[in-house]
């Protein structure tokens, strides 16, 4: 983690420690939770406590590296840029519902110590089920029921009886509009409130609080990219972040836990090969970025050699796929098959090669 992230994390930890919560160690990005491939939120390692009535402390707090792959397929679609790249860090807390009022007070103290002015905060909350913001609304502006119902609903992969209803914190930006930074969620079991969670992404908070014109600057990969003469845009930050995050777990093409992980790694590697060709990135730049980012973010670079090897393997595979596509087109033309039939067959046989032919060719 870079210095900005560490400073923010330490303030968060100190506040909730003083309020009686106990530190819970982060878990690996490859998780035992069978509902996801990678740890994707602070609640992932804390799910076991949702139904545990014997939580011996007032609550838990955690810093958790996360990996979400929802942007993986459309990584190069600049018209559909998500709110955050796939690899990021989260700070989170978890308490039993009986402690909801002091919990709200500790949230307020946390934001105060982080330097967030109360008049820059807006909370979007539902007015149904439970009063999520009883104390918070004495300090912050609360806007009720202004979003779609789905905005306030949360799922945990623990069956239909377990669900959450959340309020979202947002910060006012320079132009006056508000950007979401984190959630405060009440968890229900058969419509009975049992627990609460609160947290936010470190990079998301920093980008909103410091009001970066380019929110990717809040990610620790950004200065590494700049040092290696690459722009810190979404595509670069997302591609390198996801690639390094996945390989930092120790998996590679030769030792994937199952076919699902292998499919994901192949897509991740394809993305970085495409980026390499698209931006004319040298092998030396890729190696430098991965080693520097590995040291900053994971204090570990042992995964880099196997990653660089797999990038080369994937590059050869994609080039071979392009050659096969070219051979296929030539053979179909010799057989005097109609152009439309050739296109239709290409879409079935070589969809990936067709989509990125202009870049990889």
Whether the Cβ atoms of residue 181 and residue 88 lie closer than 8 Å to each other: no
| Residue 206: how many other CB atoms lie within 10 Å | 22
- Residue-wise over 247-279: b if at least 16 C-beta within 10 A, else e? bbbebbbeeeeeeebbebbbbbbbbbbbbbbeb
Q: Residue 134: helix, strand or coil by DSSP?
A: coil
CB 221 within 8 A of CB 4: no
Q: pLDDT tens, 96-148?
A: 877 788 889 999 999 999 999 999 999 999 987 677 888 899 999 999 999 99
- Residue pLDDT, tens place only, 281-291: 999 999 999 99
**pTM score of the predicted model:** 0.88
Mean pLDDT of 13-22: 93
Question: Mean per-residue pLDDT for 169-187?
Answer: 94
Report phi then psi at 171, rounded to 5.
Answer: -115, 140
Please determine, for residue 76, whether its predicted confidence score (pLDDT) is greater than 90: no
Number of H helices, E strands in the chain: 12, 9
Residues 45-57: what's their mean pLDDT?
77
Q: How large a percentage of the chain has pLDDT more than 90?
A: 60
As a whole number of angstroms, the distance between CA 257 and CA 312 comes to 21
82-87: long-range contacts (C-beta < 8 A, 24 or more apart)? 83/180, 83/204, 84/201, 84/203, 84/204, 85/216, 85/219, 85/234, 85/237, 85/238, 85/241, 85/242, 86/238, 86/241, 86/242, 86/245, 87/238, 87/241, 87/242, 87/244, 87/245
Q: Among residues 241, 220, 234, 238, which one has the least CA distance to residue 5?
A: 220
Confidence class of residue 361 from pLDDT cuts 50, 70 and 90? Answer: low
48 has pLDDT over 90: no
Helix residue spans in 117-258 (DSSP H): 202-209, 221-227, 234-247
């Amino acid at each position: 983690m870079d210095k900005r992230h560490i400073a923010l994390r330490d303030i968060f930890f100190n506040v909730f420690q003083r309020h009686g919560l106990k530190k819970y160690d982060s878990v690996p990005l490859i998780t035992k939770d069978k509902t996801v491939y990678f740890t994707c939120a602070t609640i992932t390692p804390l799910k076991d406590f949702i139904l545990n009535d014997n939580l011996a402390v007032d609550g838990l707090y955690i810093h958790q590296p996360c990996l979400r792959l929802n942007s993986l397929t459309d990584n190069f679609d600049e018209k559909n840029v998500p709110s955050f790249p796939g690899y990021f860090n989260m700070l989170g807390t978890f308490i039993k519902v009986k402690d909801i009022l002091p919990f709200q007070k500790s949230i307020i103290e946390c934001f105060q110590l982080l330097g967030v002015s109360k008049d820059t905060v807006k909370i979007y909350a539902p007015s149904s089920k439970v009063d999520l913001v009883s104390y918070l609304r004495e300090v912050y502006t609360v806007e009720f029921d202004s979003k779609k119902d789905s905005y306030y609903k949360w799922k945990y992969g623990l069956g239909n009886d377990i669900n959450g209803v959340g309020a979202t914190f947002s910060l006012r930006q320079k132009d006056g509009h508000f950007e979401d930074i984190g959630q405060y969620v009440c968890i229900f079991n058969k419509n009975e409130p049992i627990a609460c969670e609160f947290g936010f992404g470190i990079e998301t908070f920093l980008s909103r609080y410091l009001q970066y014109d380019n929110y990717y600057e809040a990610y620790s990969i950004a200065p590494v990219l700049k040092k290696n003469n690459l722009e810190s845009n979404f595509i670069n930050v997302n591609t390198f972040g996801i690639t390094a995050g996945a390989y930092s777990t120790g998996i590679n093409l030769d030792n994937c836990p199952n076919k699902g992980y292998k499919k994901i790694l192949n897509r991740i590697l394809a993305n970085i090969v495409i980026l390499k060709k698209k931006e004319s990135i040298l092998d030396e730049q890729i190696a430098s970025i991965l080693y520097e980012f590995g040291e900053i973010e994971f204090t570990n670079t042992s995964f880099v050699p196997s990653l660089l090897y797999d990038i080369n393997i994937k590059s050869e595979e994609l080039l071979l796929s392009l050659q096969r596509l070219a051979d296929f087109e030539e053979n179909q033309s010799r057989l005097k098959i109609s152009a439309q039939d050739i296109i239709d067959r290409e879409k079935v046989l070589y969809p990936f090669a067709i989509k990125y032919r202009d870049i990889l060719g």
